[in-house]
Structure 1
Amino acid sequence: MFVTGLVLAAGASVRLGEAKQLLPYRGRTLLDVTLELARSCGFDQLLVALGGAANLVRDRVDLTGVQVVENPDFSTGCGSSISTAVNVVDPRADGLVLLLGDQPGVRAADVRRVASAATALGVCRYSDGLGHPLRFGREVFPELRGLHGDKAVWKLLHSGRYPVTQVPADGPVPIDVDTRADYERLLAGEAQ
């Protein structure tokens, strides 16, 4: 199988008040840590969607081995990043795995398991619910091109239009940094 990974990092970090992609984490930036995870997953193609703070991210984040996709409509939600990025997915790709650039606690083993899901949609089933990463088979790509808003992928996942595989993942859904409190929880968990 040929699998493309897409890291979403285009948000304007409105709730946080600063570029969350550049927050310090483990001696680097939050996005650096997430991209390192993505590189370790063995994707055949790796994309990162940038928008808000794109110039700062390009200056401060190691983008080696990653194809940057700029989303000029980033302020309309992550659906626009996905719809922009799906247009540059390699034509050989059987699937697209979606990772959040502000969720560094995802485990590579979980990413690989979701990437190998054989149905149209795959999602991690954590102890406290569903969470990223998500996998989309090629047959879903046309719908990805029309996504809008922040919760568009979840609406698609729950639409009933495609079979969904829930891939077991250990522990709770990893922290997704949207607010200062989320970031503090992430740092507190690292100190334990």
Structure 2
Amino acid sequence: MFVTGLLLAADGSAQLGVPKQLLAYHGDTLLGATLGTARECGFDQLIVTLGAGSDQIHDRIDLDGVRVVESPHADTGSSSIVPAMEAVDRRTDGIVVLLGDQPGVTSATVWSLVAEVAGPATPIGVSRYDNGRGHPCWFGRELFGELRGLCNDAELWEVIELGQFPVTQVDAIGNVPPRVDTWDDYRRLVSGVNPAHGAFTPGAFDDTHPTPLPVRGPHRRHRAAP
């Protein structure tokens, strides 16, 4: 089975005021951490979508062996998945969709998802956490036409929820890993502090503002698909 990993990292956050992909996270960056996990998964092809902050990301994150798809209008609501579909290898049997601002997703969760959907060739697979469903998600080849017709990335869940295709739910450990759209989200992610205990002031943490950081450790290298 030929599996493509699709890491969505084109969206930004007006509330943050900086590219969230470059926010410091455990000695790396937010995108660096999620990209490291995606590399650990051993996908046959790995695609990353980038948006308005693409130039800065190229300068500061190791994208070696990754097929990068530019989606500069993702912040205005355009789908970054649609242009990414043009880069999907013709041999691909299915796509695993991951989010660039969700570093809590583990390679073990991805492996469990793929193992569950690979045998029966399930059209859609969704990770089921203790508090709900979330990424990573699997979309088989028969869904590629649907993905090419999305108006925005959020419509991915409409495809799942409409019930036109069978959905396999695969158990994942814990709650849905948090994402980052606000400074409170970021504080919760890096420190575990409950935002209800007080308002977060940007600059209160050393990790608040993106700074040049070394790429974390040696990555598993993937040759870009022809």
| TM-score category, normalised to shorter length | over 0.9
- Residue 81 of structure 1 aligns with an amino acid whose one-letter code is S
Structure 1's consecutive aligned runs of 4 or more residues displaced over 6 angstroms after TM superposition are none
Q: What residue number does 2:221 align with? A: none
Note the 1:16-165 alignment, pairs <5 A: 16-77=16-77, 80-116=79-115, 117=117, 118-165=121-168
- Larger helix proportion of the pair: 1
Using the TM superposition, name which of 114-123 and 131-140 deviates more. Answer: 114-123
- Name stretches of at least 5 consecutive residues in structure 1 with no aligned partner: none
Deviation of the 1:189 alpha carbon: 3.4
Alpha-carbon displacement from aligned partner over 1:126-184 (angstroms, at most 9, x marks no partner): 00000101110000001100111242011000011110010100100001111111110
Alpha-carbon displacement from aligned partner over 1:33-82 (angstroms, at most 9, x marks no partner): 100000000100000000120000000111122110011331243x6111
Q: Please say if residues 9 and 51 of structure 1, whose CA atoms lie closer than 8 Å, have aligned partners that are also in contact.
A: yes
- Residue 174 of structure 1 aligns with an amino acid whose one-letter code is P
Largest Rg, 1 or 2: 2
Percent identity, aligned pairs only, is 56
Distance of 1:134 and 1:155 partners within structure 2: 13
Q: TM-score, normalised by structure 1?
A: 0.94
Aligned to 1:5, the other structure's residue is in SS state: strand
- Residue 75 of structure 1 aligns with an amino acid whose one-letter code is D
Using the TM superposition, name which of 109-118 and 98-107 deviates more. Answer: 109-118
Aligned length: 189
- Name stretches of at least 5 consecutive residues in structure 2 with no aligned partner: 194-226
Question: Match for 2:175 among 165, 172, 177?
Answer: 172
